[in-house]
Each structure stands twice: as C-alpha cells, then as structure tokens.
Amino acid sequence: MARGSRSVSSGSSKWRYCNPAYYLKRPKRLAMLFIVFVSVSFVVWDRQTLVREYQVEVAELQKEITDLHNLLEESNKVHGGTVRKLDLKGKTNKSTKEVLDDPIDIQRREKVKDAMLHAWSSYEKYAWGQDELQPQSKSGVNSFGGLGATLIDSLDTLYIMGLDEQFQKARDWVANSLDFNKDYEASVFETTIRVVGGLLSTYDLSGDKIFLDKARDIADRLLPAWNTPTGIPYNIINLSQGRAHNPGWTGGESILADSGTEQLEFIALSQRTGDPKYQQKVENVITVLNKTFPDDGLLPIYINPHSGTTGYSPITFGAMGDSFYEYLLKVWVQGNKTPAVKLYRDMWEKSMKGLLSLIRKSTPSSFTYICEKSGGSLTDKMDELACFAPGMIALGSSGYGPDDSQKFMSLAEELAWTCYNFYQSTPTKLAGENYFFHSGEDMSVGTSWNILRPETVESLFYLWRLTGNKTYQDWGWNIFQAFEKNSRIESGYVGLKDVNTGVKDNMMQSFFLAETLKYLYLLFSPSSVIPLDEWVFNTEAHPLRIVTRNEAEPVKNSNEKQKSFPRIGGRKEGRSG
C-alpha cells in the first residue's frame, strides 16, 4: 500500500502528533522536532550524496572493465598471425607527462598534415612507385634500386595521420607491385631502416600481414651480408644474387653505424615471425663489439669485418657513427628495460661517459656542442646529424639515479638549444649540414646545404614529451615555418643547396615524409599518440611495438599476445641530392 493512502482515525490518540496546532501550543516540542528534522535531513542528504558519488564511481569502474574487456577481445582475435587493427584515440599514456590537446596544437598539427598531403600528392603525381621525387623537374628517381623508398617510408606517417585513402592506395601498391628481386647493389643499412623498418612499423600499426610478409622477404635477401668471419656485416649486397661486400672508399672496412643499426628491425622481425635467425645475426654483432668495447664506449667509424678490430679512424656522433649509439639505448627500450637487454644499457652508459669527454662550450654565447675526435685530438665540429643526441640523451636519462638523470637531462636541453640555433643562425632559418665552433665566434656553417633533415625536430619531440615544456613545440613550429617558406614549391618540397642564399636543389628526400613531418605532427599531438612506453622509434622514425624480453627465453611469435595499435584521425650518411 502506498504511504499516502494509509487510513487514520480522527479520534485516534496518535492523530494529535500529526496536527500542527499541537506543536504551536508546545514550543519546546516544536524546537525539538525542528532539531530532529534538520538532523535527519542532513543524514539523508549526506547519504544521498554518498550514494550518488558511489554510483558515479561504480559507473566509471564498469566502463573501465568494459574497455579492458573489449581490448582483451581485440587482442585475442588472432587470424593467421595478424591482429585486427584497433583505434585507441582516447587512450591515455601513464608513463609520460600528459599534455592536453589545445586549439593551437590542433591548428599546427593540421598545417603539418597539409604539408604531408602536399608532399605525398606530389610524389603520387610525378614519381609514383619510384624511390624519390625530383620536384623541380617533376620526375622520379630510383636512388634505392626501385624499392619504392618514399612510398614505404611514408606508410606509417599516412596511417598515424589518418590519411586512409592515401594509405590504402599505397598498401595496394605494396601488395601488388613491390618486388625485391632486383639486380641492385643495396645499402644494407639504408634498406633496413627504411624498408624493413617501414614495413614492420606499418604491420605493428595496422595488423595487415602483407607488410610482415614483405618485411621478411627483403630481410631474407639482406641476411647473407652477415656471413663474415666475425659476423660483422658487409654494408652492400646485391638483392637478387646475394653477393655482399663493402664499398671501395672504406678500404674494405665496415662502417660502425651501418653495422650496428639493424638490431631494432631484425629483433622485431624475429619476434613477429617466431624465427630467431634475424635476431641472432644482429645480436652477434653487439657480442663481438662488446669483447673489446673501450671504457669510454667510443668506437671509431671503421671496423674490420674479418678481425672485428677497429683501426685509426674518426670518432663521431655524426655521420657514420651516430645511430650505433642510438640503437644501444633503443634495444634496451625495445626489450622493456629487463635484465635480458641490460648489456645494451651498460654499453650505452659507457658511451655516454665518452660523450661527456667530447662536450665543449662556445664563446661568447656558451653553446654546448659535441666535438669529433681523431686519435688524441678533438675537432670543434658538429654535424646536424648529431642533433639526434639531445633526444637520445633525454630518452635515456630516466634510467639513471636522480643526480645523473638530472645531469643528462640538462645536457640534452643545452644541446637542443644549440641545434635550434643551427637553424636560427642562418638567413633562411634552416640549418646547414655541419657547423664549426671557433673561439669568440660561436657557430659558423661548414657544409651549407639543407636536405630536409629531421634530427633537431626529433630531439624537440622527445624533450617536449618528456618535460611537457611547450617551448620545444614553439621551436619546432618555427622550423616548420622555415621549411614552408624556403622548401615548399608547387610540386613538393626541396632541399637547399645553400642555407645562406636559399638556392633550391631538386630532391625530396624520403625521410622528409618518414621523419621530419612525422616528428612535427607528433610534436603537436597528445602524448597518448604513439606513447613512448609502448613504442620505440627506429632511426628512420618508424615506431615499433615494445615487447618485453626475458632471460633465456626462446624467440616466439609475439603476435600471440600483441597489444593494441594507437592511432588518431641513421641517421643517414648524407646525400646532397
């Protein structure tokens, strides 16, 4: 029975307590009733508030459980070694400082996306399927043997930017037209970082098995390069015949960066396929080098593939040395920083001790820079290529104790300021290829071309992600505007023959789409897009999924427990084009 329908006799002794007149004649009872009423009201109100808060918490927990359940279902839907792609636009990153998306970031990101569309549509119109576009002559050139380098380098950039139509067309070309059976003398290094890395990254992002199959095909063609007495690879191989050798200009020696910058890609390939041979080849190189690894962790750029010894040659964090040090750190990150990959971290920390011995400051402005070393003497010269180092140092700083962590992060920030000024110091606001530091003169351009390189923007990306300091975004935006002003033409983007005069060259390097524009786009994206605790970038900016490695655990197909794929809508040796 409803409460309001209860019948009450007017003559009942209880009725008087329901009559207001009874209380008006008895003020003490009225006051007591008021106090009781207020007390009960507060209790009821407080209880209702608690109930509402509890209901909100329960709803949020239920949503999290549902989301986790959906993620689990997606990750378990394995079909023929692939996983269905998953859109995680709203995913947050727990390990890096979260920066909210704001209108300025959105506007800048869209401008970068427009630049990518311009570069891509120009390539599509004038050089489709060829390695690189020559924008001035509106023609293509096969500078990598006709492997579609720009197309493959661009796949993950298109995917991350949500350019679905362009991505699908490129995917179909890979499936139907990409052929590696070429009588071509390929650089093992360049083919690995661009082609193997690009295909594996796109596989990790999309879950489309065609990319894994193609990555395995080209990797199998590269493997004979490691068939040397020491296992240190030759740097050139004929893709159809499997004959490997080193370039004549090295005197038969292998190049440090070229020989130590395949680990991320080949380890990832073994993890994705369950075949250990790729990982074994590239990890043996590190084992050999570690046997005679110096206390300062600095190696000359030439290594004898027959003896494993290093001869008299320069030591540099620039061309031909740089990405060897980068991969020591990143293999440790790739393995999720477990004891199984601690050797890489230990070697990297030795190399950072050596790097500190190369640090100098300019006068009068105290720009921090990294010298090059020949024998016992230092040269006050720094490549723009070495501007990857601030990002690398920042990424590795968290693996130290508090004091060293702060010391290396401060060093990273100082070096990034120098690299930014490589750009700001020229009339075009674009950096030259290398710089010299003379006493009392700070920095001066040496080789004055700019070929659309990404290294400084790469470091700004890492520093922004790891510090949340929006100054790095502003610096990146200034660099992007300089590219727009000086390098954008009607038929794509070109480099500059001279950053002082602004005279243009005739080459749109594939890494402009793979690295420069990708890092700029991510610089203005939330840190939940390709979070650094789930992905590691190869030296061509291709993100590879982090897979935890354990001691004495055989390689197995990591697709059995593959994670989700976040998405929103060497450093090269130097070619002047």
Side-chain-side CA neighbours of 220 within 13 Å: the count stands at 11
384 SS3 class: helix
Give the span between the Cα atoms of 78 and 561, in whole angstroms. 9
Q: Considering the candidates 156, 455, 458, 540, report the single residue annotated as catalytic.
A: 455
Q: Is residue 88 part of a domain?
A: no
Q: Is residue 468 part of a domain?
A: yes
Helix, strand, coil abundance in the chain, percent, nearest 5? 50, 10, 40
Q: What is the structure's pLDDT at 101?
A: 76
pLDDT tens-place string over residues 446-497? 999 999 999 999 999 999 999 999 999 999 999 999 999 999 999 999 999 9
Q: Which domain holds residue 306?
A: 105-545
- The confidence band for 46, taking pLDDT boundaries of 50, 70 and 90, is very low
Give the span between the Cα atoms of 90 and 510, in whole angstroms. 31
67 an active-site residue?
no
Q: Is residue 43 part of a domain?
A: no
The helix (H) or strand (E) run that includes residue 374 is strand 372-374
- Are 119 and 517 in contact, with CB atoms under 8 Å apart? yes
Q: Is residue 64 part of a domain?
A: no
Q: What is the DSSP secondary-structure string of 209-220?
A: HHHHHHHHHHHH
pLDDT tens-place string over residues 81-104? 333 343 433 333 333 445 467 899
Mean pLDDT value of segment 391-395: 98
283 an active-site residue?
no
pLDDT tens-place string over residues 502-540? 999 999 999 999 999 999 999 999 999 999 999 999 999
Q: Is residue 322 part of a domain?
A: yes
Q: Look at the chain and count its residues.
A: 577
Confidence (pTM): 0.82
- Are 297 and 363 in contact, with CB atoms under 8 Å apart? no
- Check whether 261 is labelled as a binding-site residue: no
Q: Is residue 356 part of a domain?
A: yes
Give the span between the Cα atoms of 354 and 156, in whole angstroms. 35
Q: Considering the candidates 153, 262, 265, 433, report the single residue annotated as catalytic.
A: 433
**Residue 196 DSSP one-character state:** I
* Number of domains within the chain: 1
Q: Is residue 34 part of a domain?
A: no
Q: Is residue 42 part of a domain?
A: no
322 an active-site residue?
yes
pLDDT tens-place string over residues 399-447? 999 999 999 999 999 999 999 999 999 999 999 999 999 999 999 999 9
Write out the E strands in 487-555: 488-489, 492-493, 535-537, 543-545
- Are 219 and 278 in contact, with CB atoms under 8 Å apart? yes
Q: Considering the candidates 105, 124, 153, 190, report the single residue annotated as catalytic.
A: 190
573 an active-site residue?
no
* CATH number of the domain encompassing residue 528: 1.50.10.10
Give the span between the Cα atoms of 239 and 221, in whole angstroms. 6
